Structure formats: structure tokens, C-alpha cells
């Protein structure tokens, strides 16, 4: 069925009188412009008002004072951490993990469901239309934790990539996590395969995908890294992990494997177009060239990298080399804001503290990282991440005529350099998930109360 046919059946939505940043290959922008959505697809985008005489229009939005962009795409998160925000405030990654592992080992299904709802509510309210989660803590008897997240995403109405993480290298075998927080290699592989078979939807335009995601070189055995890569390729799903995050991780890899993280990943089958890695802060020129050559993607998490004093990722060098790069919130125990639109700003500002200074990133490059870049990293660039005819109607309308933005004439600069912009309307598949700054399918106050109750339960159990 053509997009026009779908529109005739499901109705057309017209959005006009706003600036439009399409984030297509040419970075086409209109000011003012229009969008015509037909069913779950973008039917048309262009300058000026929408064409006269459109039939089947069920909604017409006068978006004066707004900027329309593709919905934001998050590429790295840990929802469960919503319950452990604000802890280990002055630690680096290894100190922070060592402090938090014993708390995280007490999570259960009701906790993860409440944390996922809160994490997703926060992001979706801030313009995210494609969410992602990396869950790697699976205490025995804790219930179906991945299922709890998947349920939460369906309740909020957001497109979702769930990743089944794992840890099998406890402290007694030379890893960082305590032994009680890890699974056996066999358990991890079996549960990961079960999760893919139960939940992954390979169909085009799917609302739910599942990927395979052992946690990191210092919490996972080489056997699990190798077997996880083989499993993902046998099942036809993507691969995700943390990589090259800190100098401590780099040292760990040299001491244990006799090579740096990127060489280790390559030796275990972990570079490729079907792989994306969080952080990638400590990358040599050779490492960046290896990512570019193999098409390995990066989830850049500037706030988390700053919070944990990890360093500044070489994003301008990665982009120049052709490495696919998206943005990630990372877990909210290391980025308490939990919002992705603030990462557009932080990606730009943090990168300008690096060697490229004012030439590091532009506002438009930052917007691209958070939209088309993220879609590519998740393997979904053919479906979402830009506003083009035939793509999914995942669209955000940012209000830029209010106090925070009305004096910045360039709408993309207002969005990226300015304070977090209010979301007037956010659509997933053409269906509103946010209207006038509020979630359409869930109540924020209830979500906040549920999350607080579960955070207190966890603190009591862990205390």
C-alpha cells in the first residue's frame, strides 16, 4: 500500500506554519514549512503551507512558533538505575560500580517496571520517540525483568530496542562485580536466546526489537563475548556493549588480555555493522579507523562521561572518519537528568572543550547525532531519524516562542544551545504520545509516586 493509500484510510494530519529541520542527507530545512502525515508515515514535507485540497484531513495543527524535527533516538540507557539516582556522587566508574552493584543485586520485577515507566516518561516527555535499554543485572528469582521493561514501553507508546545484557565474570575470577551479581555463562546465553525468541520483532517498522548485550570487558568472560556474538548473528539481531569508557578499563584490558579494548573487541568478533558500543572515550586513531572500516557504531553519552570523570569522546574525529554516532542518556545513576534533549546541548558543549575547540560540533551536527545518527546506530535509519516521505511519522514539535527561546532567531540553535524546549506534540507512528507537554497514555504524578515507593523498597532491602 502506498503512503497516500494508508493516509486515505487512516486520515491525514497536517502540521504547518512551523520551522522544519528534516535532518535528511542534505540537512534540508524550511522556515516556515509544513508536514503531511498519512497514517503512520510522513507523506510530504516542504516549504510554506500544506498544499490546498488535501482530502481526509483529520487534524490540522497550526504550529506557529515551533520547530518540527524527527523524534529523538536514544541509543544507551539503564532504566533500573532510576531507583538509585544521586548515589556515589563523587566516584569514578569503577568506584561507582563497586558501590552500586550490591544495591542493584536486590532489584525485582515491580522495581524494574516502575523504574522503566519513570525513565521512559522522562525521555518521551522530552521528545524521544525511539528508546533503548541495556539491562544486565538479573538476580535469581527476580521475575521477568526484560518483560517488565517491554511492558512499560508499550504502556507509554514509544518505539523500543530492549537489549538482554549479562555479566558472568565475578570478582573471584578477576572481574569487577561481586560474585552474587553475576550469572553463569550458560545461564546468560540461554536466557538471552529465550528473550530474543520471545520478544524480538524483525518486521519492518517494528515497535520492539531485541539485541544481545553482555555488559563490559571487566564483567564478562571472553567465552561469553564470543558466544554472544555468534548467538546474535545466528538469530539475526544486533550486538551492544560498553567499550573504551575509562583509563581503568583500558588498563584492565592490557593486563588481562594483553591488548586495548578495541583490539580485544575485534578478537572476539565484536566489530561490525551490527554492533554499537556505549562511550568509546579512550580511542586511538587506529581504534577510530577500525570502527570506521567495520561500520561499528558509537552511543555517545557526554553527561555520563562528565559525571564519572571518564573523559571526552573524540566525536569530531569519529564523524570525520565516517563512524556512525548516536547519543545516549546512559543510566540515570550516572546522568540524573534522564533526558536526551539536554544531551544535544551537552554533546556540543563538551566536544568544544576538546582539541577541536569551536570547530568541534555545530548545533546541526548535534541534532543529527540525536536523530538520524541514533537511528543508524540502532539499524533503523531506513525507517526513522529524519522527516522524509515514506518514513515513519515519528515527529516532535518543540515550542520556541516562550521565555526560554523567543529571542534566538535560528530555531535549531534555540533547540540545541537553549534551555530544554517544551514539547507541544510528539508523535510515534503518527499517534500522539505527548500533547501540550503531558504524556497522553500515562499519568506523570502516578509514575513518580510508584517510582518513589519502589526506590524506598530497594533502599530498605539493600540497607
The site for Zn ion (CB under 5 A) is made up of 278, 330
Question: Which residues lie closer than 8 Å to 309 by C-beta, 6 or more apart?
Answer: 92
Q: Are 239 and 268 in contact (CB under 8 A)?
A: no
Taking the least distance from each CB to Zn ion, the nearer of 133 and 450 is: 133
Least distance in angstroms from the C-beta of 267 to Zn ion: 22
Least distance in angstroms from the C-beta of 89 to Zn ion: 17
Supply φ then ψ for residue 305, to 5 degrees. -60, -35
Least distance in angstroms from the C-beta of 432 to Zn ion: 30
State CA 153 to chain mean position distance: 13
Least distance in angstroms from the C-beta of 79 to Zn ion: 11
Sign of torsion, CA 340 136 190 116?
A: negative
Least distance in angstroms from the C-beta of 136 to Zn ion: 9
Taking the least distance from each CB to Zn ion, the nearer of 317 and 330 is: 330
Least distance in angstroms from the C-beta of 183 to Zn ion: 18
SS3 179: helix
Taking the least distance from each CB to Zn ion, the nearer of 303 and 424 is: 303
**Measured CA distances, 103 to 180, 261, 272, 331 (Å):** 11, 28, 34, 15
DSSP 8-state assignment for residue 358 = G
Q: What's the start-to-end Cα distance of the chain, in Å? A: 57
Least distance in angstroms from the C-beta of 433 to Zn ion: 25
Taking the least distance from each CB to Zn ion, the nearer of 326 and 418 is: 326
**Neighbour count for residue 258 (Cβ, 10 Å):** 9
Q: At what angle do helices 247-257 and 93-104 cross, to 10 degrees?
A: 80
Q: Are 123 and 329 in contact (CB under 8 A)?
A: yes
Least distance in angstroms from the C-beta of 261 to Zn ion: 15
Least distance in angstroms from the C-beta of 331 to Zn ion: 5
Sign of torsion, CA 358 337 375 300?
A: positive
Taking the least distance from each CB to Zn ion, the nearer of 276 and 398 is: 276
DSSP 35-76: EEEETTEEEEEEESSPPTT-SSEEEEEE-TTEEEEEPEEB--
Taking the least distance from each CB to Zn ion, the nearer of 162 and 415 is: 162
Question: Which residues lie closer than 8 Å to 6 by C-beta, 6 or more apart?
Answer: 38, 39, 40, 41
Nearest residue to Zn ion, by Cβ distance, number only: 330
| Strand ranges of the sheet holding 275-279, from the earlier edge strand across to the other edge | 72-73, 128-135, 159-166, 208-214, 239-243, 275-279, 297-300, 325-327
CA-closest candidate to residue 76, choices 314, 374, 455 = 374
Taking the least distance from each CB to Zn ion, the nearer of 118 and 278 is: 278
Q: Which residues of 340-370 are buried (b: 16+ CB within 10 A; e: fewer)?
A: bbbbbbbbbbbbeebeeeeebbebbbbbbbb
Taking the least distance from each CB to Zn ion, the nearer of 35 and 253 is: 253
Least distance in angstroms from the C-beta of 446 to Zn ion: 28
Taking the least distance from each CB to Zn ion, the nearer of 274 and 330 is: 330
Cell reading at 344 = 544535544
Distance CA 415, CA 371 (A): 13
Taking the least distance from each CB to Zn ion, the nearer of 287 and 330 is: 330
Taking the least distance from each CB to Zn ion, the nearer of 310 and 423 is: 310
Cell reading at 384 = 526513522
Taking the least distance from each CB to Zn ion, the nearer of 13 and 107 is: 107
Least distance in angstroms from the C-beta of 37 to Zn ion: 34
- Count of CA atoms in the C-beta half-sphere (13 A) of 299: 27
Least distance in angstroms from the C-beta of 300 to Zn ion: 12
Amino acid at each position: 500500500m502506498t503512503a497516500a493509500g494508508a493516509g486515505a484510510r487512516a486520515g491525514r494530519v497536517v502540521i504547518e506554519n512551523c520551522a522544519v529541520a528534516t535532518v535528511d542527507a542534505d540537512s534540508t530545512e524550511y522556515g516556515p514549512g509544513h508536514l503531511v502525515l498519512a497514517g503512520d508515515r510522513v507523506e510530504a514535507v516542504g516549504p510554506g503551507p500544506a498544499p490546498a485540497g488535501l482530502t481526509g484531513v483529520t487534524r490540522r495543527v497550526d504550529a506557529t512558533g515551533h520547530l518540527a524535527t524527527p523524534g529523538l533516538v536514544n541509543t544507551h540507557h539503564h532504566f533500573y538505575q532510576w531507583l538509585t539516582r544521586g548515589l556515589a556522587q563523587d566516584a569514578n566508574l569503577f568506584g561507582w560500580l563497586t558501590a552500586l552493584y550490591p544495591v542493584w543485586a536486590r532489584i525485582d520485577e515491580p522495581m524494574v517496571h516502575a523504574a522503566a515507566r519513570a525513565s521512559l516518561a522522562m525521555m518521551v516527555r522530552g521528545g524521544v520517540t525511539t528508546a533503548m535499554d541495556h539491562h544486565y543485572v538479573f538476580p535469581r528469582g527476580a521475575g521477568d525483568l526484560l518483560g517488565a521493561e517491554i511492558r512499560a514501553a508499550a504502556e507509554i507508546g514509544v518505539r523500543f530496542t530492549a537489549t538482554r545484557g549479562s555479566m558472568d565474570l565475578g570478582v573471584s575470577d578477576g572481574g569487577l562485580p561481586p560474585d552474587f551479581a553475576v550469572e553463569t555463562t550458560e545461564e546468560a546465553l540461554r536466557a538471552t536466546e529465550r528473550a530474543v525468541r520471545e520478544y524480538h520483532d524483525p518486521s519492518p517498522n517494528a515497535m520492539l526489537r531485541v539485541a544481545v548485550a553482555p555488559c563490559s570487558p571487566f564483567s564478562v568472560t571472553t567465552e561469553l563475548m564470543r558466544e554472544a556474538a555468534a548467538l546474535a548473528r545466528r538469530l539475526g539481531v544486533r550486538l551492544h556493549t560498553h567499550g573504551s569508557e575509562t583509563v581503568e578499563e583500558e588498563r584492565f584490558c592490557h593486563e588481562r588480555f594483553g591488548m586495548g579494548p578495541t583490539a580485544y573487541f575485534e578478537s572476539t568478533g565484536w566489530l561490525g555493522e551490527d554492533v554499537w558500543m556505549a562511550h568509546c572515550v579512550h580511542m586511538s586513531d587506529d581504534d577510530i579507523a577500525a570502527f570506521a572500516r567495520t561500520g561499528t557504531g558509537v552511543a555517545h553519552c557526554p553527561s555520563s562521561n562528565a559525571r564519572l570523570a571518564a573523559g571526552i569522546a573524540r566525536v569530531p574525529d569519529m564523524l570525520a572518519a565516517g563512524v556512525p554516532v548516536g547519543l545516549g542518556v546512559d543510566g540515570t545513576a550516572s546522568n540524573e537528568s534522564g533526558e536526551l534533549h539536554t544531551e544535544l546541548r551537552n554533546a556540543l558543549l563538551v566536544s568544544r572543550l576538546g582539541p577541536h575547540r569551536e570547530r568541534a560540533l555545530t548545533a546541526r551536527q548535534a541534532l543529527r547525532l540525536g536523530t538520524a545518527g541514533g537511528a543508524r546506530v540502532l539499524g533503523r535509519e531506513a525507517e526513522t531519524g529524519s522527516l522524509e516521505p515514506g518514513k515513519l511519522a515519528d515527529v516532535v514539535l518543540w515550542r520556541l516562542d516562550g521565555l526560554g527561546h523567543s529571542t534566538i532567531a535560528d530555531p535549531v540553535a534555540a533547540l540545541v544551545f537553549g534551555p530544554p524546549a517544551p514539547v507541544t506534540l510528539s508523535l510515534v507512528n503518527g499517534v500522539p504520545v505527548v500533547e501540550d507537554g503531558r504524556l497522553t497514555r500515562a499519568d506523570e504524578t502516578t509514575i513518580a509516586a510508584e517510582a518513589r515507593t519502589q526506590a524506598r523498597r530497594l533502599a530498605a532491602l539493600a540497607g
